[in-house]
Amino acid sequence: MSELARERVGAGYYDTVTAISRRRKSLIRAVRASGKTPIIAEIKYASPSSGKIRDYEPAVRIAKEMLAGGACGLSIITDPVSFKGGLNILSEVARSVIAPLIMKDIIVSPRQLRAAARLGADTVVLISELFSAGLTDVDITTMMQEARGLGLEVLVEANTPSEFEKVRTLQPDLYGINNRKLSSFQVDLDTTERILAETKPVSAPVVSESGIETVADIKRLKTAGAQAFLVGTCIMKSSNVEQKVRELVNS
């Protein structure tokens, strides 16, 4: 997936966007201020592991339903190949809602960060494993500095205790634990439990990502120490997006 991202960067996919004027919204603040379970709802129409998730319908409509259900923020996937996302989707949602927005992509270049800022995103996700493997144009410290210089909050995600310890030294705005292995797409909620059991507490919010489908999953991960939850597939598969989000928010 990182190779495809690099190809998109090289082809200028992220350079053609038109800047929009939008006041930034803090995802950290929204997570901390949430009176219920902080759910970051994700818009994606497909994924490598699930294939097609939902027939296309306007992302703005879906976004508004998610927020009506109580989501504290939205994650917009901009990968057009593996997830059927798009930069245009982020732009449309950013123009239409007042809520913290994550631009979710396989970020390997600062050019993607500049696109995120121009399109109205508030937060970007950096995958620690890609930087450790040397699959990015710059190191993670440089990427974080670039993002913050653009006014973006940074969520850095890990999938193992050792990667999480690396992330700790970076002091990101939010910590992400992805329950899905990037190499195999296998999901295991034990990932969040194991990492938080084997590492010291951190001061910023911990977001558990991937494989979360039910209230029971949320309660399990809360017990492990996760403070917010990024949920996409089960919401996008639901015939009633607002109701599904509300169910998770009230867990």
Tens digits of residue pLDDT in 44-95: 999 988 899 999 999 999 999 999 999 999 999 999 988 999 999 999 999 9
Q: What is the mean pLDDT of the chain?
A: 96
pLDDT given for residue 30 in this prediction? 98
Residue 184 has pLDDT above 90, yes or no: no
pLDDT given for residue 17 in this prediction? 87
% of the chain residues with pLDDT over 70: 100
Give the CATH number, domain containing residue 174.
3.20.20.70
120 Rama sector, left if φ>0, alpha if ψ -120 to 50, beta otherwise: left
Q: What confidence category does residue 37 fall into, taking pLDDT thresholds of 50, 70 and 90?
A: very high
pLDDT given for residue 203 in this prediction? 93
Q: What confidence category does residue 224 fall into, taking pLDDT thresholds of 50, 70 and 90?
A: very high
Name the domain count of the chain: 1
Segment 84-108 mean pLDDT: 97
pLDDT given for residue 118 in this prediction? 97
| Single pTM value for the model | 0.97
pLDDT given for residue 82 in this prediction? 86
Boundaries of domain holding 222: 2-19+26-249
% of the chain residues with pLDDT over 90: 93
